[in-house]
Amino acid sequence: MLWFTGTALLVLICFRAFRKRMFPEYPPFYSYIGFVLLASLGRSLTALRFSTTSTEYYYVYYLSSLPMAFLQFWILWDLHGRIVGKTKTSWKEMAGWASVVVTMTLPIAWKVFSMPKVDFFMGFHAFTLPLQVVVCLLVCHDAYVHREVDLGRNLKGMLLGLALLVACQSINFTEHLFMHSPLQVFRFFLQFNYFVALIVFSYTLWDYVPLRRLQAADQQQFEKVNEQLEQVLKALLLR
């Protein structure tokens, strides 16, 4: 049931993108969606031919999942570029980002690669998913620093859906690998997490609402509202 509704949502996202002519606007995202749709159909045909417990299905499933991680990194890199714009990232900032990524993912990498007889695909996702979570946080930091940029409904939906997906899948993979959660539970949440992310994608990409950069007057008004909110929060906390 989850596979059927997930495939229907993928088709719906592609259909709306075609109607609204959004394919050229967000090539990394729709490359990812198109690949996921093709991979889903390929897995289904393999399951019908060999069953979901066969070796053929195992390799088709996990081999098709490897490019998805790199496509997701591509989406995050595209979001970063759209937020920052023509502003050049300094070497100091890049070094800070790299140190955050290494600090937060090195313990997980050490744990994964030090375990004996770890399945390659499980270890790969158990390592790359937390790394994607960190990159999502860095992109959110970009959005916070560059508050003159309004991401718009579409890019906000991409970031939110992808962040939910990689965070939930990271928990799912690490629990199965380290805490030995039942295989049935792992497989259920594997599909369920994708289903939730697809709901976010289909809702936020229903209409074309692109990024826009606030003008000076809009930026001043935004900062004024932000200051007023901070004052209200301080007053409530002091009380």
All residues at 6 or more sequence positions from 24 whose CB lies less than 8 Å from its CB, including other chains: none
Task: Read off the pLDDT of residues 49-99 as tens digits, 9 standing for 90 and up.
Answer: 898 888 999 999 989 999 999 999 999 999 998 988 766 555 566 666 667
Distance CA 197, CA 206 (A): 14
The answer, yes or no, to whether residue 226 has pLDDT greater than 80, is no
Average pLDDT value for the chain: 83
Tokens 């790394």 belong to residue: 131
For 153-157, what is the mean pLDDT?
A: 93
Cβ(177)–Cβ(112) under 8 Å? yes
Distance CA 169, CA 52 (A): 20
**Residues for the chain: how many in total?**
239
- CA 82 to chain centroid, in Å, comes to 16
Give the model's pLDDT for residue 104: 66
Give the model's pLDDT for residue 144: 85
Give the model's pLDDT for residue 122: 85
Distance CA 33, CA 201 (A): 10
User: Which pTM was predicted?
Assistant: 0.82
Give 213's strand partners: 149
DSSP the chain: -HHHHHHHHHHHHHHHHHHHT-TTT-HHHHHHHHHHHHHHHHHHHHHHHH-TTSHHHHHHHHHHHHHHHHHHHHHHHHHHHHHHTTPPPPHHHHHHHHHHHHHHHHHHHHHHHHSTT--HHHHHHHHHHHHHHHHHHHHHHHHHH-TTEE-HHHHHHHHHHHHHHHHHHHHHHHHHHHS---HHHHHHHHHHHHHHHHHHHHHHTSS----EEPPHHHHHHHHHHHHHHHHHHHHHHH-
Of 137, 145, 138, whose CA–CA distance to 94 is shortest?
138
